[in-house]
Each structure stands twice: as C-alpha cells, then as structure tokens.
Amino acid sequence: MHLDVSNIVSDSKHMMLGLSDGSLYCISWKGEFYGPFDLESIEVGSTQTNDLTQSLSNGVLPEWKHGTINQSSTRKSAVVHLELCLSMRLLFVLYNDGHLVSFSVSKKGLKHAELIKPERTVGCGDAVCAAVASEQQILAVGTTRGVVELYDLAESASHIRSVSLHDWGYSGEDTGPVSSIVWTPDNSAFAVGWKFRGLTVWSISGCRLMSTIRQIGLSSISSPMGKTNHDSKHEPLMYGVSLMQWDEFGYRLYAIEERSMETILLFSFGKCCLNRGVSGMTYMRQVIYGEDRLLVVQSEDTNALKMLHLNLPVSYISQNWPVQHVAASKDGTYIAVAGLHGLILYDVRFKKWRFFGDVSQEQKIQCKGLLWLGKIVVVCNYDDSSNMYELLFYPRYHLDQSSLLFRKPLLTKPMVMDAYENYILVTYQPFDVHIFHVSISGNLAPSSTPDLQLSTVRELSIMTAKSHPAAMRFIPDQLHGVNISNNHLENSESVSREPARCLILRVNGELSLLDLDDGRERELTDSVELFWVTCGQSDEKTNLIEEVSWLDYGHRGMQVWYPSPGVDPFKQEDFLQLDPELEFDREVYPLGLVPNAGVVVGVSQRMSFSACTEFPCFEPTPQAQTILHCLLRHLLQRDKNEEALRLAQLSAEKPHFSHCLEWLLFTVFDAEISRQSVNKNQTYGHRNNAKISLLEKTCDLIRNFPEYFDVVVSVARKTDGRHWTDLFSAAGRSTELFEECFQRRWYRTAACYILVIAKLEGPAVSQYCALRLLQATLDECLYELAGELVRFLLRSGREYEQTLSDSEKMSPRFLGYFLFRSSYRKHSVDHRSSSSFTEESPHVASVKNILESHASYLMSGKELSKLVAFVKGTQFDLVDYLQRERYGSARLESFASGLELIGQKLQMGTLQSRLDAEFLLAHMCSVKFKEWIVVLATLLRRAEVLFDLFRHDLRLWKAYSATLQSHPTFVEYQDLVESLEERLSSLSNSEELRV
C-alpha cells in the first residue's frame, strides 16, 4: 500500500511523521522503528464556542468552535502537517479535510503513543497549514479563506486575532488559500505565503512589515486581480508561494514560487533594536540593522526623516558575520555593533569606526548582549574556555584589554539586562534579579587611569508561574525627581537614588510593574510587543516627553502612561487609536522616540521600480507621528496649565506644531460633544457654575499662540455646525475672531470664519463681513480668495433675500457703495453703473459695485496683468464692463502714449505677460475696441489681426504707420510696419486690377 508522508517533528530522542491513512509513525534517532499508530479522534461539536467579542481582526471571521473528544470513532483523513511545541508538550495534527487537532504529549516523549491524548480542535475546519511560535506560545493557522488566525496556547488555544490583506483591498479570491506560514527564529514576526499570489510578513501584533503585493488602497471596490496583471509583471511571487524558510539568524527569507520550482527567491531583512533580552534600548537613535549594515534614521529634521545606510567595515564583518547585537549610547553619539566575535564602535559625529587593535583579543569576545553606561560600553561576554558569562566594561575611547575597566563574572547566562544612570540590572532564570551599583573614580579619558568598582545593592528571587521576562527596564522616580515645572532641571538627590521599580515585559505580551523593595508585581496590560521608558532618559532641557512614564505598542496601537499620585499610581491613556488620523497605520512599525521633538518614529516598506532590475526594490521609509497633543491634554486634565503652556512654548518651533494644536482642540471638543450627548439633561447654566471645562482650558492654552485663529476655525470646519455654539462659547465670539484676523491682515483665515458667522450670527452679519473682506482682498490683489468671497456673497445673498419680507430688506448695495468705495473711482462709472444696476437685486448690485470699482482702478492705472488675474479669479464680466467704459476708464488718450505705457506695464519679454496680452486682445476684439486692439496686436506682433483691421480702414493705417515711423522709441516695430505695408500694397494692387 502506497502512503504519503507529512513533515517531520522531533524531540531530543524521537522523530514523528504523519501518514496519509491518518496514523503517525515514530522513529528514534538511533534508527529504531516503532511502527504506525492511530490517534484518538475528536468530533466537532457545539459544547464550547470561542468568545470572539474580545478578539481583534482585520478580516472576515467565521464562527469558531472547539471540539469534544469522541473515543469510539476513527478518523480516516490523511495527516498533512504536524507541529510540535515542546515547551507546552503539545502536538498539533492537521488533516486534509481542514481539521486541526491539538494533542497533549507525555513527559516521556513521543515514543509512548498511548499517552498522546487529544484535547480539542482548533479553528472551524478550514485549516490548510499551521506554525507554532514556541517562545510566544502562539499558534498561527492558515485557512482556505486566505486568512491567518492566531491562537494563544497558554489560554487553551483561545482566538487572539485574524490577519489578512482584506483591509488592503485583497480578498481570499485574489490571494487564494494560505500555502505556508513560517515564524522568524526569535518568534517576533511571521511570513505568510498564498497559493495564488504573493507573500507578506507581519509582526506579532498585526503590523504589515513587508508585502510583495502592490498597494492599491484601502477601499477598492473591484477585485485587484482583474486590473493588476499588466502592471504586476515584475511583482515577485505573482503566481503564488510553494515553500518558504527563514535562515538561522532571521535576516533572509527564502521562497519558491508555485510555477517556478527551479528558482529560489531571496528577500533580505533588517531588524529593529527591540528592547528585549540583554541588549539596551536606543532612545536618541533609531536603528535598523541588517546582516552587514546599519540603517540609521536621521531625525535632526523631523519634517523630512531620512534613512542613512551605514555599511560595516569589511575588515570586521567579513570575519565576524553576521551582526548580532546593536546598541546606541544614551546621547546618540556612539553606536556599538557586535558580530560573531568582538565589537566595533561608530562615532556618529566624526563618522569614524573604532576597532580592537589586537585581533586575538577581538576573537576572545563572544558578545551576547550590549549596554551603554554613560561613556562606557558594557559587553555581556561568553567565555568558551570556562563556559561562563561575564560583563566587560570598556571606555568608548579605546577598545583594548589594557583599557578594560572591570570584569564581572556572572552566575549563569543572563535572561535580561538593563542599565540606568549608575545601576545595572541582571536577571537570571527562573526569575532572580540582581542589581549592581557602578562607581567610578578618576576621569574617563585616555590621559587618566579611571578606577571602576561594582557592588551588589539588591538581590531578589521571585517565585511565579508566569512566563519568563523578555525585557525589564528601570523606572526612575518621577514624583520626586524630574518635573517639567522646574524647567527640566534634575534634582541632585534624585540622580543618585536607586530606582525602586522596573517594568517587565513577558514573552506572552504581559506588561507589569515590579516593586524592587518588596518584590510585588502589578499587572498593567497585555498584548504588548514593545515599550519605551521615557522618563529620565534624556538630559536635554527641550525634552518634550519627560512628563510621560512610558509608552507601549501592541495590537491596540500605541498607549501612553503617566505618573498619577494617589490611590491609582499610574493612569493609562490610549491615544493613537482614538482617531484614524492619530494612529500609526498597520504598515508603520514604531522604532523609537525623538524626545526633543515629541514624536514617535516608525518605519514602513515602500516599493520602487527600475527598468534595469527584474524585481522591485523594497525601501524602508521612516515616518514620524507626533504625541504632543496627548501630552498637553494630559497636563490640562491634571490642571497643570502653566506646565502645559511651558511645554507648548518649548514645542512652538517644532514641525507640525499647528497640527498638534488642532488635534488637541479637536479631540477635546469631540470628547465634549460625546459627553453632552450622553448627559443630555445637563443645562448650560449648570456648566457655568461648574469648574472651568477642559475645552475652555484648551482654548485658553492655544490662545497664547498666533496659530489660535487658524486652529479654531479648522476644528470648526471638521465638526458638525450644530455644535459650533459650544465651541465658540469657549473659543470666543466668531465676529470678534474675524475682526482680529481682519485687523492683522490675515485675510485667508478671516475668510474661513465667514461661514461660521453665517451660522451663528445670521446672514446679514456674514454679508457685511464678507463685503469688507472682499474689498480688502481686492486691495491686496488676492484675487482667488476674492473670487471665493464673490461666490459666497451671491449665493448667500440670494438665500437671505428669499427669507426676508420687503419691509425687512436692507440693501447691501448701499453699504457697499457708502462704506467700501475704492480710493479711486471715475464719475463715469458711478453714473453708468447706477443705471445698469436698477434691475439687479441688491446683493448682486453691491458686489458688482465693488468689483467694477476695482476694475476701474486697475484699468485707469493700466495694471493689465493684475486686471487679467482679477477677471480670472472673480469671473468678472469684462466684456460688459468694456462696453460701458469705452469712453470712461478704459479710454486711451492717444495711440503713442498708450503703446508706450502698456508696453512698459506688460513687459512682453515674459511668457505670462504675453498670455495676459492675448487674453485682453480676445476680449477687446469681442467688443471691437479698435484703440486697444491696435495697441495689443502691435505688442504681440499679431500682423494678421492688424492687417484685417487696416484693410477696411486705410485712414487708421496711415495714422498708425505715421505714428510708429515718427517716434524713435518705436523703431523696433519698423519690420512690422514694412510687412503690413507690403501686404496692404499688394492688396490694393490686386483690387485695382480687378476693377
């Protein structure tokens, strides 16, 4: 009988594989065959159903059911895949009918088949592949729907979340079922390949780190498959993924395409400096490291973050490939890099590398972790000869055995490490915490001989059943130390005080706070992937995030934590998930913080295409997300108004400051609207009697900055007009804000208030303000803005007149004529326009009065370029105006003076001036304004226009010719005159012959 086999799983003594008849086969590593055996089966029932109300998904979820044990039935489906989690003694068996069953394995191993017992089915029967992250205790299951489901093995395989490309516009029909899932060696991310198309790498929290499938937008209506076949000819894995595998270090992902089994594609990856294990966290420098290079985010100018590619010296990396640990100093001036052996330092300021001078010393160091202690780099070294671990302290100015400051033997392999000020934390398994104090005498300089001493100040042994720590970080005492109210000046006593608490991130994502005095641990939150302790991490006085305790990142987005003295020592506040515009989207992975800019820096993948390469280039692109508005809101909520003002003043010159103020006011106002909708019985008078509201405090804060007027009206435009009364009761009366902008000549901002005034104060007031603003914008030649005001005035004027009776009407024309007349106006315009407006409605007459006044001013001064811009911007009827002003402001005194003056005004050497002249010539021709046609056609050298005019009026031709020939300033037009004379003579001769 022919049987197919699945993959192989194994422990230290035995291996196991699945057979197509539904049985398993066990073989020892010594070559002993134990024969096939059948497993007890499970039938899918409805006795237990996963509660998915708490799970997070970005795809379509089916109904999930666990199974119940059925001892009597025998499963005949073929075993297609096995997964073994040794740490939890679980075996997962996937059958070809889509059912995935978990089995418990005895402590005695895989040999004893009778002790392998079924526990439950996982999923809903459409599984096609699976992969276990042993460190994280997470099971990833690929389905026929193209969705990957994540399950928490520590919580009885409860559903965590779903991951798919659904929100990127691709359904299961486009990608096909999942064909392969592979976790990175450190279990921090997993790659997903689909049978029909593409590959994507996700972080454990669901951030899309990389994808071979082109981005088409989040709200695509039609299927992407039908419209990307031609554009995606260079897309990798266009025909699906057959197999995938990470390399030993997680830098390379190998993939085989479904229809191209002879070709292996290689994708190179970089790693973020995660705050995990025995390497320190980078605060001032955001670094991604590849197998032979560093990618450093240049964050000096957060308006345009750039990624610097820093190749490691060939002399070092060729002998010590690959890079294994990277840590930046606290001030960001040095970066320590460790490969297989030794380490090197990079001076960021001088762009120089520092090496061990003696290669034999370098080869004796096997770095297992890096920390920075001020100007000292601390190396966790493994000594082969003694099978021991130790801490080596080197000054950053010299890497040599002769400069070694101290050597500290460790009890065993450290699990996690951290350093803060003069203290070092080392934690061993299972959970033994040792804290050391470092004291230095002498200067850390090449010319001196400093002496370093290490003393143990605390030892804790904590008994817990929780998963072991992945990272631990000291928490400085904020409540007695650094405070923003004293302008970031540190108390000298707090600098030397030993931290009494630390944060613990466990491998399962739990974040907790450990009291180092009594060993008590308080759970804070779960599903955390990264965290950053921000307090006490920057010596700069411009540190904008000193008031924050720490930030964490997980599938919920980013969360910020503040110190809060009282019953609850810490308060958690979500901010990036409150509004779509505030969050890092699921393509941006946070790298770290820029304290002096108040931003979180993240990285996302972008694809670029080149004609010289077959496949696209994957480019890590840095992006910044500000958190200033959250910090300000927190301070205002705690009634720290002065501190909030000081923080805002520190940030006033930072990029996106205006945007931060806008989002601060928007989020506060939005929360106020929501509160009012919940508590509808609260009256306005009651609010006045209560203490000042957060909305009022926010407005008072922003009022200290010139951006206030823009911010308020921008928030108003983003919210429902029904709530404007509440906003402007706190921000100030809309007409007063308009008047302030008008007096400061901030006309664009003032124009934004017109609609608000119309809503709150009525159309009559808005018409009055708009007319004033229209005249001012015309005087400043802001014609596009003037055009918007004209359209508003005409529209709102019609609506206003429809709502008023004849007795209530007040002619805005009178206001426009009496209050808004230009400083220059011809009497002829007054006389002629008054008769032409008799049949116009009052609001139209008022607007036309102002526009014609300005047109007369421009025409009288022959400001023709401005006149063209005015006509285009306001849609002014120039033809009608020219017909009425032929003998008024549009009249030319003489041809010679007009040609000379208009030539000077238009400056015909520029393209824009010639276009303006063409525009005017077309309008003059439409009203047959001969004086202007002759002048403009001459300036443009439009011989055909002049010829057509002169052939019917030879008297005009003779006057034209005589004028140009008699004035020496018009000598440049002699060739034009000669050409016209020749054509007219030829025309005259031909007519004589016909006669």
Distance CA 418, CA 423 (A): 8
Say yes or no to pLDDT of 516 above 70.
yes
User: Per residue in 900-926, pLDDT tens?
Assistant: 899 888 888 889 999 999 999 999 999
Closest by CA to 832, choosing from 814, 853, 813, is 853
Instruction: Identify the architecture of domain 5-50+64-264 in CATH.
Output: 7 Propeller (2.130)
Give the residue carrying structure tokens 């009203």: 927
Name the pairing type of β-strands 423-428 and 414-420: antiparallel
Widest pairwise Cα distance in the chain: 126
Least confident of 250-259, 527-536, 846-855: 527-536
pLDDT value of residue 906: 86
In the predicted model, is pLDDT for residue 348 greater than 80? Answer: yes
Assess whether pLDDT exceeds 60 at residue 964. Answer: yes
pLDDT in tens, 125-170: 999 999 999 988 999 999 999 999 999 998 899 999 999 999 888 9
- 54: confidence class by pLDDT, cuts 50, 70, 90: very low
The secondary structure of 904-919 as a DSSP string is HHH-TTSHHHHHHHHH
Please tell me the CATH code under which domain 270-414 is placed. Answer: 2.130.10.10
Mean pLDDT of 481-504: 56
Q: Give the list of residues 6+ apart from residue 304 with CB closer than 8 angstroms, or none.
A: none
Between residues 537 and 622, the one the model is more confident about? 622
pLDDT confidence band for 614 (50 / 70 / 90): confident
Sign of CA dihedral 521, 526, 527, 533: negative
Q: Over the stretch 677-713, which tens digit does the pLDDT of each residue have?
A: 777 655 444 444 446 899 999 999 999 999 999 999 9
Residue 894: pLDDT band with limits 50, 70, 90 = confident
User: Where in the chain do CATH 2.130.10.10 domains reside?
Assistant: 5-50+64-264, 270-414
pLDDT tens digits along 638-665:
888 998 898 899 888 877 889 999 999 9
For 87, phi and psi rounded to 5 degrees?
Answer: -65, -30
CB 70, CB 41: distance < 8 Å: yes
Most confident of 10-24, 265-279, 534-548, 889-903: 10-24
Rounded mean pLDDT, 777-801: 88
Q: Compute the C-alpha angle 130/133/136, nearest 5°.
A: 140
Beta-strand pair 158-163/56-57: parallel
Q: Phi first, then psi: what are they for 351, rounded to 5°?
A: 55, 50
Cβ atoms of 115 and 134 closer than 8 Å: no
Query: How many Cα atoms occupy the beta-carbon half-sphere of 237 within 13 Å?
Result: 31
Does residue 619 contact residue 306 with C-beta atoms inside 8 Å? no
- Residue 811: is its pLDDT beyond 50? no
Strand, helix or coil for residue 886: coil
| pLDDT the model gives residue 347 | 96
Residues 359-414 pLDDT 10s: 999 999 999 999 999 999 999 999 999 999 999 999 999 999 999 999 999 999 99
Q: Is 464 helix (H, G, I), strand (E, B) or coil?
A: coil
Quick one: what percent of the chain has pLDDT higher than 90?
53
What does the pLDDT read at residue 596? 67
Q: In whole numbers, what is the pLDDT of the chain averaged over residues?
A: 83
User: By three-state DSSP, how is residue 142 classified?
Assistant: strand
Cβ-Cβ contacts under 8 Å for 450 (sequence gap 6 or more): 395, 405, 440, 441, 442, 443, 444
Nearest of 98, 111, 102 to residue 82 by alpha carbon? 102
Q: Which of 216-230, 261-275, 378-392, 505-519 is predicted least confidently?
A: 216-230
Banded model confidence at residue 17, pLDDT cuts 50, 70, 90: very high
**Other C-beta atoms within 10 Å of 964: how many?**
21
Average confidence (pLDDT) over 489-512: 74
Contact 80, 64 (CB under 8 A): no
Residue 703 has phi, psi (to 5 degrees) of -65, -15
Residue 639's pLDDT is 87
Instruction: Decide if pLDDT at 492 tops 60.
Output: no
What are the C-alpha distances in Å from 67 to residues 53, 70, 120, 425, 839? 20, 9, 5, 46, 84
293-336 per-position pLDDT tens digit: 999 998 765 567 889 999 999 999 999 999 999 999 988 899 99
pLDDT score at 373: 94
| 2: confidence class by pLDDT, cuts 50, 70, 90 | confident
Q: Which of 238, 267, 239, 242 is nearest to 252 (CA)?
A: 267
pLDDT attached to residue 188: 93
State the pLDDT at residue 802: 60
Among 575, 696, 724, CA closest to 636? 696
Q: Is the pLDDT of residue 828 over 60?
A: no
Nearest to residue 296, comparing CAs of 321, 332, 330?
332
Joined together, the tokens standing for residue 283 give 């605060």
Average pLDDT over residues 857-877: 93
Give residue 377's pLDDT.
Answer: 97
pLDDT in tens, 212-254: 998 764 433 334 444 444 444 578 999 999 999 999 999 999 9
What value does the mean pLDDT take over residues 549-578? 66
